[in-house]
């Protein structure tokens, strides 16, 4: 109801002379379509875009374009709604041509309904799929365990979208196949795709006869992502070796006792690789050990970019201990990595509320650049570090008498001395981290800055009240100093003139009283 009221007010504004330019409303519609942060975005975004289309005829084309551009069928979508959407594609080919991405979440309702092949074909008939002439991305995510291997009718309904030959990207997540042979038989019809993503898939029988895979299997495939699958090396054995970009990881944690150990020996098949991406969502003991094993099988002389993606870390110590970057640096200093031109390290950094974000990120970046990847850096490889961190420092009061709470950070071998004044903050930080030769590297940083700052210390957001109180205390302290100076001058004037008049000393007493009052106020504000 709030959205409808808001849109009614906007429409009323357009009828008046104070209407915004049409481009402003287009920007609003684009923002609505791109906001995927809400948990129920698959429901609220289409509903809001439909309301936009009905609000003003001038908005209709832009709202319809955004409505059909990215279509997501959630697991809560009723089968009748899916059928209605498919019929719309058949009846209005111009709208069907607007669909760029189609994402289908097969939940409990959808998966059960599609187990019947007749129901699946009736729900989304081939006539509707053929109308998707502008489709670029197909995304199928099976969110429900539907038995020992997905039903053939369910797979037939999913892979029936192979007739949408304009699609260039195919993502399959959460499926359980009876065998890799089933995967190969269905993927043969997707010879037009260029990007393939397998996420958390598994199979009961992973063996695939080599005779089933011919040279015409996925001939246009150039990008492959394998993440969280059972026996990814088996997938690497069946994919075409002409792939240019390969993204691996993180490996799955769900292995049965009968499953063989994960191996990346099939990486040696991909001799035309240009970019290799290794990803681990967590960074702890043994989480990144497989990076070295994967690199040991690479045989791509044309490889020019390697990317390492790490999960969230708390300290430089964790990066040095678990990232395996020192070992990776040694591996990449030999063939076939001597022609690598760029190494990208993406790492998530967990920042506590009281930590200095800039200093922490600088220490991590310096360690990676200077110490961890030293050999690659020395031979001219471009090392790029991208640190992604959470919310910055937030100063929150624990009690009325203690408004600034500071905890020591989770960095081992670190000494920190922080001094907070009413107008300045100084920090001395000494960090020791282990080096590659068994010793330690010491970093010392001393920095002072005005305090509090409007942006850095969040004075416009979460710390607004704190900054007002702190600034008021500083203001009263300065007033107290000013009145103390005037009082001293008055005393000096009275003594130098040997004055016995009460007026001078009354003024002095008033100034001293004001000085004491302002000092007390500044003390209460800063405590």
Task: Give the mean pLDDT of 439-452.
Answer: 71
- Asked if the bond preceding 8 is cis, omega within 30° of 0, the reply is no
Within 10 Å of residue 476's Cβ, how many Cβ atoms?
21
Q: Please check the confidence at residue 526 and state whether its pLDDT lies above 60.
A: no
- Residue ranges of domains in the chain: 414-450, 464-526
Strands (E), 74-124: 101-106
Q: Please check the confidence at residue 3 and state whether its pLDDT lies above 50.
A: no
Residues 6+ apart with CB under 8 A from 519: 476, 477, 480
Of residues 156 and 300, more confidence is placed in 300
Per-residue pLDDT tens over the stretch 151-197: 777 788 889 999 999 999 999 998 888 888 888 889 999 999 999 99
Question: How confident is the prediction for the chain on average, in pLDDT?
Answer: 77
Which tokens is 151 given? 């039903």
* Phi, psi of 500, rounded to the nearest 5 degrees: -110, 10
In the structure, what pLDDT confidence band is assigned to residue 482 with cuts at 50, 70 and 90? confident
CA distance linking residue 256 with residue 14, whole number of Å: 63
Q: What is the predicted pLDDT for the residue at 1?
A: 34
CA distance linking residue 346 with residue 365, whole number of Å: 10
3 state DSSP class of 519: helix
Nearest Cα neighbor of 82 from 114, 119, 130, 124 is 124
Q: What is the predicted pLDDT for the residue at 267?
A: 94
Task: Give the mean pLDDT of 314-320.
Answer: 88
Q: Please check the confidence at residue 391 and state whether its pLDDT lies above 60.
A: no
Q: Please check the confidence at residue 439 and state whether its pLDDT lies above 90.
A: no
- H-helix or E-strand spanning residue 360: helix 357-366
Of residues 6 and 54, more confidence is placed in 54
Q: Is 439 left (phi over 0), alpha (psi -120 to 50) or beta?
A: beta
Within 10 Å of residue 124's Cβ, how many Cβ atoms?
24
Residue count of the chain, please give it.
Answer: 527
Per-residue pLDDT tens over the stretch 71-103: 888 777 777 888 888 998 999 899 899 999 999
Q: Which of 15-29, 135-149, 332-346 has the lowest mean pLDDT?
A: 15-29
Secondary structure string (H, E, C) spanning 205-264: ECCCCHHHCCCCCCCCCCEEEEECCCCHHHHHHHCCCCCCEEEECCCCCCCCCCCCCCCC
Of residues 508 and 264, more confidence is placed in 264
CA distance linking residue 105 with residue 111, whole number of Å: 9
Q: What is the predicted pLDDT for the residue at 41?
A: 63
CA distance linking residue 416 with residue 465, whole number of Å: 27
Task: Give the mean pLDDT of 449-460.
Answer: 75
Residues 6+ apart with CB under 8 A from 274: 244, 245, 300, 302, 303, 304, 305
Task: Give the mean pLDDT of 116-140.
Answer: 87
Of residues 296 and 451, more confidence is placed in 296
Start-to-end Cα distance in the chain: 46
Which tokens is 421 given? 């004044």
Radius of gyration of the chain (CA): 32
> Cα angle vertex 323, ends 412, 246, to 5°?
160
User: For the whole prediction, is pTM greater than 0.85?
Assistant: no
- Asked if the bond preceding 250 is cis, omega within 30° of 0, the reply is yes
In the structure, what pLDDT confidence band is assigned to residue 492 with cuts at 50, 70 and 90? low
Of residues 190 and 447, more confidence is placed in 190
- H-helix or E-strand spanning residue 415: strand 414-420
Q: What is the predicted pLDDT for the residue at 390?
A: 57
Which tokens is 232 given? 């990814």
């Amino acid at each position: 109801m709030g959205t409808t009221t808001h849109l009614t007010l906007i429409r009323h504004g357009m009828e008046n002379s104070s209407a915004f330019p049409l481009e402003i409303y287009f920007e609003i519609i684009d923002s609505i379509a791109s906001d995927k942060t809400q948990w129920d975005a698959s429901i609220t975004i289409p509903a809001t875009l439909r309301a936009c289309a009905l609000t003003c005829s001038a908005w209709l084309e832009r709202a319809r374009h955004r409505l059909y551009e990215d279509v997501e069928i959630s697991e809560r979508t009723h089968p009748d709604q899916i059928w209605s959407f498919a019929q719309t594609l058949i009846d209005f080919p111009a709208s069907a041509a607007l669909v760029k991405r189609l994402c289908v979440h097969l939940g409990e309702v959808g998966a059960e309904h599609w187990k019947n092949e007749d129901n699946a074909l009736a729900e989304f008939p081939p006539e509707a799929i053929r109308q998707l002439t502008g489709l670029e991305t197909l995304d199928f995510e099976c969110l429900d365990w539907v038995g020992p291997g997905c039903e053939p009718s369910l797979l037939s309904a999913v892979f029936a979208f192979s007739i949408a030959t304009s699609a260039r990207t195919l993502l399959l997540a959460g499926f359980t196949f009876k065998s890799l042979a089933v995967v190969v038989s269905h993927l043969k019809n997707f010879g037009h795709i260029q990007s393939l993503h397998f996420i958390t898939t598994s199979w009961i029988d992973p063996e695939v006869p080599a005779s089933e895979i011919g040279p015409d299997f996925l001939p246009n495939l150039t990008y492959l992502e394998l993440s969280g699958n059972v026996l990814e090396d088996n997938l690497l054995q069946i994919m075409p070796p002409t792939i240019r970009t390969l993204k691996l990881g993180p490996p799955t944690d769900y292995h049965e006792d009968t499953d063989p150990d994960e191996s990346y020996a099939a990486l040696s098949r991909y001799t035309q690789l240009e970019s290799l991406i290794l990803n681990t969502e967590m960074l702890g003991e043994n989480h990144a050990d497989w990076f070295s094993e994967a690199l040991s099988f690479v045989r791509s002389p044309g490889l020019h970019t390697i990317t390492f993606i790490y999960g969230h870390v708390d300290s430089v110590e964790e990066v040095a201990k678990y990232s395996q970057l020192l070992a990776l640096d040694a591996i990449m200093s030999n063939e076939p990595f001597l022609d690598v031109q760029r190494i990208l390290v993406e790492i998530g950094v967990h920042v506590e509320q009281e930590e200095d974000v800039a200093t922490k990120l600088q220490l991590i970046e310096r360690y990676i650049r200077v110490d961890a990847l030293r050999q690659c850096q020395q031979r001219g490889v471009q090392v790029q570090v991208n640190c992604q961190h959470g919310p910055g420092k937030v100063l929150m009061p624990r009690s009325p008498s203690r408004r600034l709470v500071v905890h020591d950070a989770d960095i081992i071998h670190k000494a920190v001395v922080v001094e907070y004044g009413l107008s300045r903050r100084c920090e001395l930080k000494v960090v020791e981290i282990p080096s590659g030769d068994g010793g330690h590297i010491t970093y010392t940083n001393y920095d002072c800055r005005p305090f509090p700052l409007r942006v850095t210390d969040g004075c416009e957001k979460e710390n607004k009240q704190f900054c007002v109180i702190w600034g008021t205390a500083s203001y009263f302290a300065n007033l107290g100093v000013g009145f103390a100076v005037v009082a001293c001058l008055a005393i000096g004037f009275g003594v130098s003139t040997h004055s016995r008049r009460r007026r001078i000393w009354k003024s002095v007493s008033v100034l001293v009283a004001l000085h004491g009052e302002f000092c007390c106020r500044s003390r209460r504000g800063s405590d």
